[in-house]
């Protein structure tokens, strides 16, 4: 019984207009879809989750689950399960009782309940602490118990608030796979709140990137990386982050020239044919732009932009070279082992298809590769 | 490894003994007095050796006090019963009113909320005599003078602020997300309050209840003015031992022993419960 969730023009203002935490937020989660709300601390993602759960009121807008407006209902009547960032286990109950507690309302036989608790404990690897009390197990175990308490229920929508923040990296990687499989198998519509993009990429079908209470982009992990909607998403998604330069564009009919500001006349020059006519027409009106390029698309070679190496590090499977142009650091990632001494000169080449062009005013994307947005 | 030297241990033991003697000696002396007659109590120099007598207790329990000036009727057992009744019912009423109110003050922000909470606390600042005169006039008009209901009502001035402010702190210490987790699992606000908030705050509620009981039990002036002999608690009833033929020290001592017994028993019982509750109910991260 997976449900469809629709948020329409949701606003959240705390106090008397003091903090505008969520601004005109609209998005929809399809039945069975896993959506991640991704953003830095204070971006409004947890406020959004708590409004869906019913612990915060909406200042404006509506929330619908399967076409039924739920934003005026008490939490108990929304048919939503939630795992809390603070775990929030019931202290007088054991871990097993905490998990089975959520099943009480469903009037299952005790054998059925026991089996489901056992299966869930196995999935989350907390079988050995089932009979302990929350205060006597580790934070990671409490967090998994809290996650189990949410997942074991049958609900139309699952809300997971930083569900794996306290786990060790190895366990986290294993559990990500298992939880994704579990959510798929049970066709669970899920909203996951996280500030960890690796987790969002691994678990979510689509990611809603939020910043300053505003939804920046809502797209698949691949799309976010290839076609970021604006400069914020471009630099927020991806590790190491996208390199960005302010440039002046000049198109003389034969070549398109991006002069890098403050670099003493260095520029990226491409044949006009590398760009579509529509894009060139679009760029005619612009002079100042922001140019973004992913680190793996910056190639170290014999020609291109001249840069001074700051650090060079071979990580065993890839080389990270940080170099400097016009006071800005450019990171390049290569899968070959490259030896470049600090303070030596390197030449950086960038293919026209790897360019991301953003407006320097509002940061909105103009083109990805040679294609207009 | 023991870092304390023998000297330190001796000094510490001596100081603890001093404190214990300071606090317990009066009680010990009163217990001794309660088994003596007025003559042995008043002899000079006083001695802890005497022939014990139960006459004080039998006088209190039978209600017949024999003095040199004649026989007197005592309402002590009635007074004791009044104390139990008044204190228990006052605390019960205060808990029924105060615990939900404390929860509201802890969880919800509403208009004038802090002002109301502070006003309730301010009842504890005002000296009782300040309100007694107008109160006794109102009570006469309302027909509440010398009734249990009237006294229990006035005792709310003592119990309610205590319970409200102590329990509020305990509710504030419970993570709201624990309640949220319960509510989202399909339970109403009222069920959450009963099944999660109150049990988790139980040690605090017990402590506040106990404290309020002791304060109510020890109250003197409200009952002195607002009630007559048959509704008065032990604190006021003890005045009857100041008789025409002198102060009945033996009976006073026995009365004190009998009147501190219930609160002492309650405190000892609740103390065990409090420690248990605190260690079990510890809310962690």
Lowest-pLDDT choice from A41-50, A72-81, A144-153, B112-121:
B112-121
- B283 CB neighbours in chain A (<8 A) are 91
What the block records as the tokens of B80 is 């004791």
Distance set, CA B254 to CA B44, B70, B179, B236, B259 (Å) = 21, 20, 50, 15, 9
pLDDT in tens, A347-363: 999 999 999 999 988 89
Q: Measure in Å the smallest separation between the Cα of B274 and chain A Cα atoms.
A: 15
Residue B220, CB-side half-sphere exposure with 13 Å CA sphere? 6
Mean pLDDT of B225-239: 83
What the block records as the tokens of A348 is 């950086």
Selecting from A53, A91, A92 the residue whose C-beta is nearest the C-beta of B184 gives A53
Put simply, the answer to whether A92 touches B280 (Cβ < 8 Å) is yes
Put simply, the answer to whether B280 touches A90 (Cβ < 8 Å) is no
Contacts of A204 (CB under 8 A, 6+ apart): A34, A35, A36, A192, A221
pLDDT in tens, B61-87: 887 766 666 676 777 888 889 999 999
Q: Please report the number of interchain residue pairs, chain A to chain B, with beta-carbon separation below 8 angstroms.
A: 68
Lowest-pLDDT choice from A283-297, B210-224, B245-259:
B245-259
Q: Is the pLDDT of residue B50 over 70?
A: yes
Mean pLDDT of A155-182: 92
Put simply, the answer to whether B181 touches A90 (Cβ < 8 Å) is yes
CA A237/CA A159 separation, integer angstroms: 23
Nearest CA in chain B to A137: B284
Dihedrals phi, psi of A42, to nearest 5 degrees: 80, 15
CB A110 within 8 A of CB A160: no
Instruction: Give B 190-209 residues with CB within 8 A of chain A.
Output: 196, 199-200
Q: Report the residue of A90, A100, A149 to disrupt the B interface, i.e. the one with the largest count of B CBs within 10 Å.
A: A90
Cis amide leading into B27 (omega within 30): no
What the block records as the tokens of A72 is 């005026």
Contacts of B86 (CB under 8 A, 6+ apart): B148, B151, B152, B155, B216, B223, B233
How would you write A228-268 as a 3-class SS string? CCEHHHHHHCCCCCCEEEEEEEEECCCEEEEEECCCCCCEE
pLDDT in tens, A124-143: 999 999 999 998 999 999 99
**Per-residue pLDDT, A175:** 93
**Per-residue pLDDT, A30:** 95
What the block records as the tokens of B167 is 């329990």
Cis amide leading into B45 (omega within 30): yes
- A91 CB neighbours in chain B (<8 A) are 178, 200, 280-284
The DSSP string of B124-154 is: TTS-HHHHHHHHHHHHHHHT-TT-HHHHHHH
Put simply, the answer to whether A54 touches B184 (Cβ < 8 Å) is yes
Q: Where in chain B is the domain with CATH 1.10.3720.10?
A: 76-280
**Per-residue pLDDT, A180:** 95
Q: Provide the ipTM.
A: 0.81
**Per-residue pLDDT, B283:** 43
Dihedrals phi, psi of B164, to nearest 5 degrees: -55, -50
Burial B45-64 (b: 16+ CB within 10 A, else e): eeeeebeeeebbbebbeeee
- The closest of B42, B34, B82, B93 to B60, measured between CA atoms, is B34
pLDDT in tens, A12-28: 999 877 889 999 999 99
- B280 CB neighbours in chain A (<8 A) are 91-92
The DSSP 8-state label assigned to residue B234 in this structure reads: H
Tell me the three state secondary structure of residue A34: strand
Mean pLDDT of B129-158: 89
Contacts of A280 (CB under 8 A, 6+ apart): A251, A256, A272
Residue B56, CB-side half-sphere exposure with 13 Å CA sphere? 26
Distance set, CA B98 to CA A25, B103, B160, B166, B216 (Å) = 41, 8, 6, 10, 15
Residue A336 gets the label, from left (phi > 0), alpha (psi -120 to 50) or beta, of beta
Q: Measure in Å the smallest separation between the Cα of A323 and chain B Cα atoms.
A: 44
Global pTM? 0.80
pLDDT in tens, A27-74: 999 999 999 999 998 899 999 999 999 999 999 999 999 999 999 999
Q: Is the dihedral of CA B7, B13, B15, B21 positive or negative?
A: negative
CA A45/CA A51 separation, integer angstroms: 10
> How do A80-83 and A243-251 pair as beta strands?
unpaired
CB A333 within 8 A of CB A295: yes
CA B140/CA B144 separation, integer angstroms: 6
- A53 CB neighbours in chain B (<8 A) are 180, 184
CA A305/CA B229 separation, integer angstroms: 103
Rounded to 5 degrees, what angle do the CA atoms A212, A25, A79 make? 120
- The closest of B250, B226, B209 to B76, measured between CA atoms, is B250
The DSSP string of B65-126 is: EEETTEEEE--HHHHHHHHHHHHHHHHHHHHHHHHHHHHHHHH---TTHHHHHHHHHHTTTS
Selecting from B177, B183, B200 the residue whose C-beta is nearest the C-beta of A76 gives B183
Q: Report the residue of B108, B178, B184 to disrupt the A interface, i.e. the one with the largest count of A CBs within 10 Å.
A: B184
Give the CATH architecture of domain A5-227: 3-Layer(aba) Sandwich (3.40)
Contacts of range A134-142, beta carbons closer than 8 Å, 24 or more positions apart = A134/A87, A134/A89, A134/A90, A134/A91, A134/A93, A134/A95, A134/A98, A134/B284, A135/A91, A135/B282, A135/B284, A137/A95, A139/A87, A139/A166, A139/B285, A140/A166, A140/A167, A140/A168, A140/A171, A141/A95, A142/A87, A142/A89, A142/A166, A142/B285
Q: Where in chain A is the domain with CATH 3.40.50.300?
A: 5-227
> Looking at the complex, does the CB of residue B285 fall below 8 Å from at least one CB of chain A?
yes
Q: Is the pLDDT of residue B285 over 50?
A: no
CA B68/CA B70 separation, integer angstroms: 6
Please state which of the four CATH numbers 1.10.3720.10, 1.10.20.10, 2.40.50.140, 2.70.150.10 is assigned to the domain occupying A243-372.
2.40.50.140
> Looking at the complex, does the CB of residue A158 fall below 8 Å from at least one CB of chain B?
no
Q: Is the pLDDT of residue B51 over 50?
A: yes
> Looking at the complex, does the CB of residue B283 fall below 8 Å from at least one CB of chain A?
yes
- B189 CB neighbours in chain A (<8 A) are 74
Q: Report the 10 Å Cβ neighbour count for B113.
A: 12
Burial B255-280 (b: 16+ CB within 10 A, else e): bbbbbbebbeebeeebeeebeebeee
Q: Is the pLDDT of residue B276 over 60?
A: no
Q: Is the pLDDT of residue A204 over 50?
A: yes
> Looking at the complex, does the CB of residue A90 fall below 8 Å from at least one CB of chain B?
yes
Please state which of the four CATH numbers 3.40.50.1100, 3.30.470.20, 1.10.3720.10, 1.10.760.10 is assigned to the domain occupying B76-280.
1.10.3720.10
Q: Measure in Å the smallest separation between the Cα of B179 and chain A Cα atoms.
A: 8
pLDDT in tens, A277-305: 888 888 888 878 999 999 999 998 888 88
Nearest CA in chain A to B197: A90
Residues of chain A with pLDDT > 90, as a percent, come to 67
**Per-residue pLDDT, B274:** 65
- B196 CB neighbours in chain A (<8 A) are 90
Q: Where in chain A is the domain with CATH 2.40.50.140?
A: 243-372
Nearest CA in chain B to A78: B184
CA A128/CA B20 separation, integer angstroms: 48
**Per-residue pLDDT, B186:** 85
Q: Is the pLDDT of residue B280 over 60?
A: no
> Looking at the complex, does the CB of residue A191 fall below 8 Å from at least one CB of chain B?
no
CB B184 within 8 A of CB B118: no
């Amino acid at each position: 019984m997976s449900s469809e969730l629709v948020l329409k023009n949701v606003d959240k203002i705390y106090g008397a207009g003091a903090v505008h935490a969520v601004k005109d937020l609209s998005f929809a989660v399809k039945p069975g879809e896993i959506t991640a709300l991704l953003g830095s601390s204070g971006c409004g993602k947890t406020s959004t989750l708590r409004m869906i759960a019913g612990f915060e009121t909406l200042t404006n807008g509506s929330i619908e689950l399967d076409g039924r407006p739920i934003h005026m209902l008490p939490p108990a009547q929304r048919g939503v399960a939630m795992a809390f960032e603070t775990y929030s286990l019931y202290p007088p109950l054991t871990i097993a009782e905490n998990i089975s507690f959520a099943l009480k309302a469903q009037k299952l036989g005790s054998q059925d309940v026991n089996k489901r608790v056992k299966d869930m404990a196995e999935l989350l690897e907390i079988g050995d602490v089932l009979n302990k009390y929350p205060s006597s197990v580790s934070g990671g175990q409490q967090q998994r118990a809290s996650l189990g308490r949410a997942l074991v229920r049958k609900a139309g929508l699952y809300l997971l608030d930083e569900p794996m923040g306290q786990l060790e990296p190895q366990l986290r990687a294993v559990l990500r796979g298992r939880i994704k499989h579990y959510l798929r198998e049970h066709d669970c519509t899920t909203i996951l709140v996280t500030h960890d993009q690796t987790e969002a990429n691994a678990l979510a079908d689509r990611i809603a990137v939020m910043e300053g209470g505003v939804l920046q982009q809502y797209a698949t992990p691949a799309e976010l990386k290839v076609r970021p909607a604006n400069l914020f998403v471009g630099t927020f998604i991806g590790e190491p982050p996208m390199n960005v330069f302010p440039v002046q564009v000049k198109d003389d009919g034969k070549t398109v020239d991006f002069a890098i500001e403050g670099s003493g006349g260095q520029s990226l020059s491409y044949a006009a044919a590398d760009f579509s006519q529509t894009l060139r027409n679009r760029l005619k009106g612009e002079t100042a732009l922001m140019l973004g390029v992913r680190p793996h698309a910056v190639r170290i070679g014999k020609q291109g932009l001249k840069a001074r190496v700051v650090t060079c590090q071979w990580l065993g499977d890839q080389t990270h070279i940080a170099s400097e142009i016009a006071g800005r650091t450019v990171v390049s990632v290569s899968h070959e082992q490259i030896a470049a001494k600090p303070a030596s000169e390197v030449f950086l080449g960038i293919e026209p298809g790897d360019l991301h062009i953003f407006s320097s005013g509002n940061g909105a994307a103009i083109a990805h590769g040679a294609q207009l947005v | 490894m023991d870092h304390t030297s023998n000297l330190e241990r001796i000094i510490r033991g001596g100081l603890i003994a001093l404190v214990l003697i300071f606090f317990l000696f009066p009680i010990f002396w009163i217990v001794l007095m309660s088994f003596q007659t007025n003559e042995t109590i008043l002899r000079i120099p006083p001695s802890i050796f005497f022939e014990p007598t139960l006459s004080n207790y039998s006088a209190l329990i039978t209600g017949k006090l024999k003095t040199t000036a004649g026989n007197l009727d005592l309402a002590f057992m009635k007074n004791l019963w009044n104390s139990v009744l008044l204190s228990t019912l006052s605390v019960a009423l205060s808990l029924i009113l105060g615990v939900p109110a404390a929860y509201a003050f802890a969880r919800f922000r509403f208009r004038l909320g802090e002002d109301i909470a502070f006003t309730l606390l301010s009842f504890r600042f005002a000296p009782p005599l300040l309100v007694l005169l107008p109160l006794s006039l109102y009570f006469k008009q309302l027909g509440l003078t010398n009734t249990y209901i009237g006294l229990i009502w006035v005792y709310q001035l003592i119990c309610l602020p205590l319970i409200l402010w102590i329990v509020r702190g305990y509710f504030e210490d419970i993570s709201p997300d624990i309640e949220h987790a319960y509510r989202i699992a399909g339970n109403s606000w009222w069920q959450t309050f009963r099944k999660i908030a109150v049990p988790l705050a139980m040690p605090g509620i017990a402590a506040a209840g106990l404290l309020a009981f002791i304060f109510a039990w020890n109250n003197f002036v409200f009952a002195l003015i607002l009630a007559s002999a048959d509704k008065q608690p032990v604190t006021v009833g003890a005045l009857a031992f100041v008789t025409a033929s002198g102060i009945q020290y033996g009976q006073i001592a026995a009365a004190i022993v009998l009147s501190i017994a219930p609160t002492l028993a309650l405190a000892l019982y609740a103390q065990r419960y409090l420690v248990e509750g605190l260690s079990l109910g510890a809310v962690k991260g």
